[in-house]
Structures are given as structure tokens and as C-alpha cells.
Amino acid sequence: MASSRQFKLAKESELRVEVGPDMPLRIRLFSGTAEIFGTELPPSNWLSISPRSKIAVFTWNGATIELDGVSEVEYVADETPMVSYVNVHAILDARRAQAKASHSNNVDSLQGPRVIVVGPTDSGKSSLCKMLLSWACKQGWKPTYVDLDIGQGYITIPGCIAATPVEMPIDAVEGIPLEMPIVYFYGHTSPTANGDLYKVFVKELARTLERQFSGNAEARAAGMVINTMGWVEGLGYELLLNAIDTFNCDVVLVLGQEKLCSMLKEVLKTKPKVDVVKLHKSGGIVMRNQKVRQKARSLKIREYFYGPINDLSPHSNIVNFSDISVYRIGGGPQAPRSALPIGAEPVADPTRVVAININRDLLHLVLAVSYAKEPDQIISSNVAGYIYVTDIDVVRKKITYLAPCPGELPSKLLIVGTLTWLEG
């Protein structure tokens, strides 16, 4: 075990740390003030940072940071884009205040800023989102965080489109506090599996949030911060434009890609109220290959059941095949071939909800538990949570599954996609 060591940071510099794959690392603020992704470190308290985490401890005025444990990479950087990020925050803050004032003055109520953070894979999108959210919370706002990144899944698990109000700066260890998340289970980690369904869920989520904002002036003024996928070409680019439009975004922050920025400026110039702003990505960004990204997904699912620092105890339960119904969204032809024009091929219906037979194909899959009462409500209903199928006894017609808490499932309707996990 490496002994504890200290790093003295000059003002506006940061300590960048990559934690190894096996052991957590402890960190504490020895003196001065510092923050991790916009959340201030408490003085003198040791924090455990989970394995494979990558963090940047930034100080505005100078600090001494102490580390204890093994890390793969640790160094101090004095060139960071933080000043430009905090300048963006100041502009957003002024817009929130303006929106709030317009509401209390009974003039035409303005909406608060709707910020969408875009950029290629590994450009620091989720880190910037956390900073903007945490800084807004420090000013007393309760912005809404929207996560459209099905590949990683920062609000619950990968394969989901989700949103949650953020009322406190985001905890460096625990992550985003979940009070009342709205979650739609897309069920795949790439939009190519069903691009039309992805759009449908984006629309459902936007509609739900608009309803909430219409009855909550405070949330409307606080606005939203939207995280997106790192796929910014082809279908990925199309889905990006669709999200900007669907959520009625007025600030587009482009991280680290000139080409994407100029493309968006060109296509959005007809919308005078949309600001497209290019920002530099942090020099601490680490490019991850497919294997590392897959591992991060797996860890995210594990975290859902066991907690970020293994502090939760999930429950194993058994249920009869007859007590549940499992559905897949998408697939099945829209019309029989006989009803189509000559030579036309039947097209799979991307939003068709199909009941599936329960068999061993479900082993090691993560299923979502829907709040829907009937199958035709599945697409418009958000999910209560997830279970992980650990065993299927076809002879006795029983499923063994892992759930985050004991007791009966809140619903008998389960949704399956292609999200697998090998516990280990």
C-alpha cells in the first residue's frame, strides 16, 4: 500500500487522479479550499473514491490535498479550462435570475436556460454537466439533469433515458442524489438498435418535464442541463439535432470539436435564440477503448445493486413464470405482406410492444420493472427500477433474480432489451 502523500496546489490549478481497478483511494483536503466537479471538498474528512474513477481536484485559491492508497496516475496541472466553464455558469445564473424575475413580475414568463452539452466520446461532457449542476445548486437553484447517454448511464444504469431534479451539489463519492428520477428503459447501449424508439423516449421525457415545469415556476427558472452521447456523426448527429429541438434548448455547449461546432452553428442559425458555444476540453481527459467502456458499464450496473462502495445488500428472490410478463419493444412486422404494395418488404415496427416467452435466453440480462398497468402503457410509463436474472429453471418454471431491495416487485410487467451483465 502506498503511503499517504501531499500535493500543494497553486490557485486555479488541479490535481488529476486515476484510481486503479482494484483498490479504492482515499482523499482529503488538508488546507485551503478545493472542489471535485464543482462540489467543495469538506475540510479534513477522508473520502473514498471508488476503483476506476477519474477525478480532478480543482482549487480557485490554493490548497493542499492528501492522498492515501494506490492510484495509476496522479499529477498537478496548471492549465485548465475551468475559468471559461465558470464564466458559462455566470451567464446561465443571470438567465435563471431573469426567468425567475419575469415570473414574479407577471410579465410573459421566460424559461430558464436549457443547456445541452455535446461533443465526441471522452471529451468531458458528463464532468462539465456535474460542474454546471453543482454550481447552480450552490446558488440555491434546483436545476433538472437530463441524461440521454444510453452508453454509460449516469443517473441510473446504461440503456436508459432519464432525468432528475438536482437539489444539492453532486457528491464526489455517491454521485447524483436520486429523489424522483423519471426513467425510460431503452434497453440497449447504442441507438442503432432502435433509433426511432430512442426518439420516442426523448419526446416522452421532454413532454413529462414540460408538464412538471408548467406547474413549478422554480424548476422552470432553474432550467435543465442535458448530457448527450459521444456519437456525433450519422444517426448520432441526427439524434443530437432532434434532442436540441425536442427539449427546446437555447444553449449548446460544444466540447473539443471544431467541426461539430461549425456544423451546429450553420444548422441552428435559423434559430436566433440558440447560442452555440465552443469550449475547450480538459487536458485531463483520458481516451477509453471499447473494452474500458464496457467495463465502466458493467461497474455502473454493479453499483446499482451493490452501491458505489459496496455498501448495499441486494436481495435474491424467486418468482414463477406465471407471476410476471416480459415484453420487448420493437420488432414484429407492421402489416402482413399481403397487405403491402407488390414488392414492398414489411418493416419492423420500432415501438411495437411484444410479449416474449420466458426461457434461458433471459439469463444474465437486466430487466426493467415498468410502472405500466397494461402492456400498451409500457412506452409512456417510466420504470420503477431493475432486476438481474441469475437463474432460470425451465422445468419448475421459476426465475431467480437479484433486486436492490426485498419484497414483491412493484409491477408484474417487465421490459427486456439487450442489456447484459456478468456479475463478478
- What are the structural domains of the chain? 5-79 (2.60.120.1030), 82-279 (3.40.50.300), 313-416 (2.40.30.330)
Q: Are 181 and 175 in contact (CB under 8 A)?
A: no
C-alpha separations of 236 from 120, 148, 351 in Å = 10, 11, 19
- What grid cell was written down for 216? 413549478
- Computed over its alpha carbons, how large is the radius of gyration of the chain? 23
Q: Are 202 and 80 in contact (CB under 8 A)?
A: no
Query: Nearest-CA neighbor of 153 among 39, 20, 302?
Result: 302
Size of the chain in residues: 424
b or e along 191-204 (b: 16 or more beta carbons within 10 Å of the residue's beta carbon)? bebbbebbbbbbeb
Question: The whole model's pTM is what?
Answer: 0.92
Rounded distance between C-alpha atoms, residue 117 and residue 122, angstroms: 12
- What grid cell was written down for 202? 426523448
Using the 8-state DSSP alphabet, how is residue 98 labeled? H
The strand pairing partners of 278, in sequence order, are 254
Tens digit of pLDDT per residue, the chain (424 long)? 457 899 999 999 999 999 887 777 899 999 999 999 999 999 989 998 887 788 999 999 999 999 998 888 999 999 999 999 999 999 999 999 999 998 776 656 789 999 999 999 889 999 999 999 999 999 999 999 999 999 988 899 999 999 999 999 998 877 887 777 999 999 999 999 999 999 999 999 999 999 999 989 999 999 999 999 999 999 999 999 999 999 999 999 999 889 999 999 999 998 878 999 999 988 777 667 778 788 888 989 998 999 877 778 999 999 999 999 999 998 655 555 566 666 665 557 888 999 999 999 999 999 999 999 999 999 999 999 999 999 999 999 999 999 998 889 999 999 999 999 987 6
Half-sphere exposure for 244 (CA within 13 Å, toward CB) = 23
Which H or E run contains 370? strand 366-370
Strands 251-255 and 114-118: parallel
The strand pairing partners of 16, in sequence order, are 56, 75
Rounded distance between C-alpha atoms, residue 244 and residue 268, angstroms: 10
